[in-house]
Amino acid sequence: MAYQFQFGSVFAGFDQLLWGAWLTVVLSAAGIALGLALGILGGWGRAQGPRWLAWTIAVYVELIRNTPFLVQLFLVFFGLPSLGIRMSAGSAALLTLTINTGAYCTEIIRAGIEAVPRGQIEAGRALGLTRFHVFRFLILFPALRTVYPALASQFTLMMLATSVVSQISAEELTFAANFMQSRTFRSFEIYAVVTVMYLVLALAFRGFFRGIHWLAFERGR
């Protein structure tokens, strides 16, 4: 029996998919900002912090990088209520994305910090700069410039990973697709359209990060 494609029902509810795509962008942007901030702190702690802090951060990084994101998500959403900590699906999704992204960013930024020439740091201290200013102007900026391609790739992967949070009913693109599929039963058509939408989002993210790279590191050189 030949399958008949029917995209009409998909495009009839296309506004739901667009709203889900927008929520994916919002969730990704928040996760990127918070994860990057956590990664900068973690990268500094691993590269230049006291030994006890470096070891603590190393345990956190290894724990996150060697366990599935879905299990981390379930632990936050289903596990924390056992300890009396309850949060909405959206909050749990954002918290898990931040913790997960922060671990990967920590390792990426640590590598960038360790690539900064030692003489550059000593020169800043010789000029009387405080440790904060040395880190801000002589370490962080060159480190981010070095590892920016890796960070941009990680952020794009994180955006795609937001599809997993639909498992706890956090609203984003995949959740919207699942909702439509449960009512139209046009699985192929819906997920084919969603695949294209994720592809467009990924390309848009890559283009956005290329623009940021030019503005931050290339313009005026």
The pTM of the full predicted model, rounded to 2 decimals, is 0.92
Rounded CA gap, 167 and 74, in Å?
9
Q: Return the pLDDT at 221.
A: 60
Chunked mean pLDDT (size 10), the chain, 221 residues: 79 92 97 97 92 96 97 96 94 97 96 88 80 84 93 96 95 94 89 96 96 85 60
Q: DSSP H helical segments within the chain, as ranges?
A: 8-12, 14-48, 51-65, 69-74, 89-115, 118-126, 131-133, 141-161, 173-184, 187-213
